[in-house]
Amino acid sequence: MWKPSTDNPPNPFLLSSVKDRKEGRDKKVKILNGGPQILSARGSNKTLLHVSRLIINVWQCYDAQHLIDVTFKLSNPTLLVPAHRLILTAASPYFRNLFLNEENNKPVIEIDDIDSDTFERLVAYCYTGTSLITEDNAERILKGAMIMQLEDMVELCVDFLLENVSIFTIKRLYELEHETECLRLAKKIQEYEINNFYKISRDDFFLKFSAKRLKALVQSDNLNVNSEEDVLDAVERWFSHNVPERRESLPELMSCLRLTNFDVRLLLTRVKPLPGCETLAYKAMSWICEPLSRTMIHLKYIEPREGLSGNWRTKALMAIRTDCEDSNHGYIYRFNKRKDTWLQWDKITINALNFETILVEDDLYFIGGKIDHEAIKNVNRWNLNTKTWKRLPDMHKARYWSSVTELDEKIYVMGGMANLDQVSQSVEVYRRRYGWEEVCGLITPRYGARAVTLNGKIYLIGGRGEGDFKAVESYDPNTDKWTACAPLLREHYFPGVTVHNRHIYVVGG
């Protein structure tokens, strides 16, 4: 017969921060003088203290197996689990219905639809509100919790599965959703699909999505894509996998895209030729080309996907503020187009000044800088999804006020100020697998310059150092050489630099 351990029995108040769904309030718990005391805005302290003592006494009876009035017999493997009918009835509708059945008034009840280990854990959960969920038992506990109608435990299991999706794999979670028909799991998987749409749409199992499932994603305003063309690519790929069966569903799916975000050429060449989408394409083109007629043109969506403020990859401007009064922190801001204002998106701890940053996929790299007036080699990476830091290998040379850009999945760091206020000529390149490597140095040492990439080359523009700093030079990674380019018309120090339509624009500084 199973007997609960008396070593450090679980305290039923450790999970009392779970929200009371019916009344929408938090119960906060504090341990005072060796005994639990519930702190709440409602009810007298004496009444609540009585309730807390009552629960502790129930646990002690359970631990000592006093006043047991039912025993469950399980066969996989054989195990006897003693319990109290009243406690289980209060904890779960499954047990309430089980005990109200006259056939189950006998002292021993056989259970054959849940394995012994899972049942034992879930009975303990009914008493304590705690249970250890692991990679090995999460799926079994989820299925058992659904049978026993333990909603909080179902929620905990689903959250655990999604937090460890890389271990369980999204494909396995799809299978588990199909097996259990768990609504919370389906909802959480859909949230994961929305937040990881680009990645999901590249996997083979995406091609097996039903039209209904795909529609729920592409119509979401929070869909995590870099551009609307990503959504079009995904729908075309899904459609091409089974044209005969999906032809009828295609126009409805396409109507959920933000067609007015495409240019006329794309609408003509890619949307109009799709079966049943000709009218949609012409409506979108009319909306773009004839602004005065827009009130007469019916399209499901005309605004770009805004997404939530936390969904950073929706198309939006973001900025990092450093060197401010709070020198130990940096602030990340996101521009809200609808409200025409900047909002603080997050606050991060930064110990250095004058570093460089670059965004690569989901990671924000913080490179070099200075601490206590000394240049540093440090490189740290902050993930915008998990909001966690990772220390990367140091650069070979300490530097601040350097220039940084990405080309062919490599990060290049150029120039900057070294220790003793020396202007650096050094250039280093970072690859995830190999770390940092020094390549050909600059023609002219400089700091405060800005770099962009165009046609497979790096262009370093402006800055300060020795000589005329209208200078521009380009780097060809194929030859590992820098070449002087036509100079700027005037000097620019820390300018804004970007590429648009195969032209380099230099602004301010």
**Cβ atoms 297, 334 nearer than 8 A:** no
Q: What gap in Å lies between CA 216 and CA 253, rounded to an integer? A: 9
DSSP string, 220-241: -TT---SSHHHHHHHHHHHHHH
Q: What gap in Å lies between CA 486 and CA 481, rounded to an integer? A: 17
> Same structural domain for residues 462 and 495?
yes
Residue 385 located in a structural domain: yes
- The pLDDT score that the predictor gives to residue 479 is 92
CATH number at residue 207: 1.25.40.420
Tokens of 197: 């749409």
> Same structural domain for residues 167 and 207?
no
Residue 11, judged by CB atoms within 10 A of its CB (0-12, 13-18, 19+), counts as: middle
Residues spanned by the domain of 253 = 196-296
95-100 mean pLDDT: 89
> Same structural domain for residues 361 and 287?
no
> Same structural domain for residues 268 and 388?
no
Question: How many structural domains compose the chain?
Answer: 3
> Same structural domain for residues 362 and 424?
yes
Q: What gap in Å lies between CA 268 and CA 274, rounded to an integer? A: 10
* 212-222 tens-digit pLDDT: 999 999 999 88
In 3D space, the residue among 395, 401, 445, 444 whose CA is nearest the CA of residue 423 turns out to be 445
CATH number at residue 163: 3.30.710.10
**155-192: burial string, b at 16+ Cβ within 10 Å, e else:** bbbbebbbeeeeebebeebbebbeebebebbbebbeeb
φ and ψ of 36, to 5 deg: -75, 145
Residue 471 located in a structural domain: yes
Q: Going by DSSP bridges, is the β-strand pair 363-367/379-383 parallel, antiparallel, or unpaired?
A: antiparallel
Integer Rg of the chain from CA: 31
> Same structural domain for residues 249 and 165?
no
> Same structural domain for residues 289 and 395?
no
- The pLDDT score that the predictor gives to residue 75 is 87
Q: What gap in Å lies between CA 16 and CA 29, rounded to an integer? A: 6
Residue 13 located in a structural domain: no
Tokens of 67: 């006043």
* 297-336 tens-digit pLDDT: 999 988 777 643 334 344 567 787 765 555 567 778 877 6
> Same structural domain for residues 212 and 124?
no
Q: What gap in Å lies between CA 460 and CA 447, rounded to an integer? A: 10
Q: By mean pLDDT, which of 29-33, 402-406, 456-460 is the weakest?
A: 29-33
207-213 mean pLDDT: 94
3-state SS assignment for residue 373: coil
Last residue in a domain, options 281, 296, 311: 296
pLDDT at 18 over 70: no
Last residue in a domain, options 139, 157, 181: 181
pLDDT at 195 over 60: yes
Q: Tell me how many degrees the CA angle 321-323-328 measures, rounded to the nearest 5.
A: 95
Half-sphere exposure of 85 (CA within 13 A, CB side): 14
Provide the strand spans (E) within 296-395: 318-321, 329-336, 341-349, 356-360, 363-367, 370-371, 374-375, 379-383, 389-392
> Same structural domain for residues 503 and 379?
yes
| Residue in the block written with tokens 């070979």 | 396
- The pLDDT score that the predictor gives to residue 324 is 53
Long-range contacts of 129-135 (CB under 8 A, 24+ apart): 129/10, 129/12, 129/14, 129/15, 129/16, 129/18, 130/10, 130/12, 130/14, 130/15, 131/156, 133/157, 133/160, 135/164, 135/167, 135/168
> Same structural domain for residues 117 and 210?
no
Last residue in a domain, options 122, 156, 181: 181
> Same structural domain for residues 471 and 498?
yes
**123-137: burial string, b at 16+ Cβ within 10 Å, e else:** bbbbbbbebebeeeb
* 419-463 tens-digit pLDDT: 777 888 899 999 988 899 999 999 989 999 999 998 889 999 988
Residue 231 located in a structural domain: yes
Residue 264 located in a structural domain: yes
Tokens of 379: 């490189």
pLDDT at 282 over 90: yes
Q: By mean pLDDT, which of 3-7, 160-164, 332-336 is the weakest?
A: 3-7
Residue 1 located in a structural domain: no
368-386 mean pLDDT: 86
Task: Tally Cβ neighbours within 10 Å of residue 114.
Answer: 20
Residue 7 CA to chain centroid, in angstroms? 39
In 3D space, the residue among 465, 466, 454 whose CA is nearest the CA of residue 498 turns out to be 454
Q: What are the angstrom distances between the C-alpha of 444 and each of 10, 69, 351, 391?
A: 68, 87, 30, 31
Residue 187 located in a structural domain: no
> Same structural domain for residues 229 and 170?
no
Task: Tally Cβ neighbours within 10 Å of residue 291.
Answer: 9
Residue 8 located in a structural domain: no
- The pLDDT score that the predictor gives to residue 258 is 92
**Residue partners of 373: CB distance under 8 A and separation at least 6:** none
φ and ψ of 89, to 5 deg: -65, -40
